[in-house]
Each structure stands twice: as C-alpha cells, then as structure tokens.
Structure 1
Amino acid sequence: MNRIAIIVGTVYGGAEYLAEQAAKLLTARGYQCTLHLDPKLGAVLAEDPDVWLVISSTTGQGDIPDNALPFFIDARDRFPLLTDKIIAVIGLGDSSYENFCGAGKQFYELLQELQGKPLAEPLWIDACETLEPETIALPWLEAHFPSKG
C-alpha cells in the first residue's frame, strides 16, 4: 500500500485544497501520491496505484462535480475490476441538503461495485459543522495510513 492516487471532484476548490493537504500529509508519512485534479481513468489505471482515494465535494442535487464526472462515467462504463486495490472516500457536503455528500456516496458505491476493498468506512464531512474540513480529514488519514518511516 505504497502508491496512492488521489482522485478529486471539486466545484469551488475546497476538495482540491483538502486533497493537496492530504497529499502533503501522506507523502510525509512515506507514501507516493499522485493528485488527479482533472481525473482521467486511463491515467489512474496506467499509474496502477495500490489505493484509490477519492476526495469529492457535491454539487446540485447530490451530483458529481463537473471535473470528475467524465472519470466517474468512464469507470462506470469500462468497469475496470479493482479486486486487488484499496479504496477510500472522503466526501464533502452540507447536511442541510437532501442529498448530503451525494457525490462521495456515488463514488463509494461505484468503487465497491468495481470490487475495490474499503480501507475504512467513508468519511463524510458536513460544512454545517466545520468550515475547515482538513481538521477532520487529516486525523482520519493519519489513523488509516500509518507512517512508513
């Protein structure tokens, strides 16, 4: 579990910022991280990461952000089996909306259908409870990705 692809779905930059912070933390802990801010399935598959970490905000009525939607559709349609891969999802949302963390939930469901092995239960971060998602996400990552050094 050394190589981590961080697949980002972002609307206003919050998920992108969190993904950058996650990459810094995980790199400092001894992991090789690649940020996919404009994710392409072919690029992630070619990278052959051990872990597929999705960090995504939600837009509209629980929709996947525009930058990550082509990746999601491609993965759904091509259906690459992830039987030897670990998956992890951090979803950002607002619980005042009906489809709280809808994009993250769709990603988690798809990655499980692709037979990825969950590292842990997904982390759902509520904008109504915290303005700085990294204060919740970084300790979660530390708990699930032990230091290699």
Structure 2
Amino acid sequence: MTKVTLISGSTMGSAEYVAEHMAEILEELGYETDVQHGPDLDSLPNEGLWLVVSSTHGAGDLPESIQSFAEEIEAQSPDLSNVQFGSVGIGSSEYDTFCGAIHKLNALLQDHGAKKIGETLEIDVQQHEIPEDPAGEWVKIWANEL
C-alpha cells in the first residue's frame, strides 16, 4: 500500500481540515495516510509522497505552524530528491499575495530536490466557503497522477 504524508500549515485551522478531508478520500482510494500538522522535518520520511496544504498568512507569509518546518529545510538543506509531492494553497483573491505561502513552499521543496506531481490547487475562500469541497475533487485527480 502506498503511503501519503499530508503536511499542513494553518493559522485558523482551514488547512488542517482540508488535509484531514483529503486523507479520508485517499484512504478510500486505498492509500495509507499520515497527517502531520506543522511537523518538524525530522518527523517526516525523506522519501515517498508528501501532500502539502497551507493557508497564507499576512502578506503572502507562511502560517506560524509551518514556519519552523520551512526554516529547518533552509538550515539543514536536506536532500529531498526521493520525495514527490503535491500541493494545495488556501487564500483570498482579495490580496495580491493570493496563495503566496504554498508558492514559497513549492519553491523550497523543489530547490532541495523534491519533484512536484500535478498542478497546485489554489483555493480561493472568496469562491469556496468550504475549502474541503474543491480539495476533495482535486485529490482524486491528483491520486490518478501517482
């Protein structure tokens, strides 16, 4: 059974809810999942499949819950070439920095060798009151790309 590690960064909890919802769908599709909210780099496998979900805080910033994870990657410069990942951003199109956090995380992971699978889903809370809905549809498509 293929395992997907879901990593969330959230300020108000929306990314956590989205990650948990996608984990349920992935399990229904036959995947094993491990959901980690604001993990430390050492708690994650340095290979396999990651699915990163992050809201955007402030002016395109990472939520506090995932800042230390990003800082650890920058400081330790791990080899992530055995990691493949997908990504989901949550934000508001009212801001110029719409989904800025997930773009920063994508670049950070790719700069350290991780390979991105599929397109990033950008959920606009102005259009989707319940961000779990578009995420649930997207993750089914993403799983088909694995």
What TM-score results when the alignment is normalised by the length of structure 2?
0.93
Q: Distance in 2 between matches of 1:132 and 1:58?
A: 16
1:52-67 aligned within 5 A: 52-67=50-65
Aligned counterpart in structure 2 of residue 122 of structure 1, from 92, 117, 120: 120
Report Cα offsets for 1:42-93 as digits up to 9, x if no partner.
000xx34511111000111111011110001101221212212211110000
1:39 corresponds to which letter in structure 2? P
Residue 94 of structure 1 corresponds to: 92
Contact persistence 1:4–1:49 (CA under 8 A):
no
Residue 34 of structure 2 corresponds to: 34
Contact persistence 1:92–1:125 (CA under 8 A):
yes
Secondary structure of 1:74's counterpart equals helix
Aligned counterpart in structure 2 of residue 139 of structure 1, from 126, 137, 140: 137
Cα RMSD of the aligned pairs, angstroms, is 1.8
Deviation at 1:104, TM superposition (A): 0.6
Q: Distance in 2 between matches of 1:20 and 1:49?
A: 21
Q: Distance in 2 between matches of 1:43 and 1:23?
A: 18
Contact persistence 1:8–1:16 (CA under 8 A):
yes
- Percent of residue pairs identical: 33
What TM-score results when the alignment is normalised by the length of structure 1?
0.91
Q: Distance in 2 between matches of 1:67 and 1:30?
A: 29
Secondary structure of 2:5's counterpart equals strand
Contact persistence 2:90–2:99 (CA under 8 A):
yes
Q: Distance in 2 between matches of 1:49 and 1:14?
A: 26
Which runs of 5 or more structure 1 residues have no equivalent in the other structure? none
Matched residues, number: 146
Report Cα offsets for 1:73-124 as digits up to 9, x if no partner.
1012212122122111100000111111111110011111111111112111
Secondary structure of 1:68's counterpart equals helix
Deviation at 1:38, TM superposition (A): 2.9
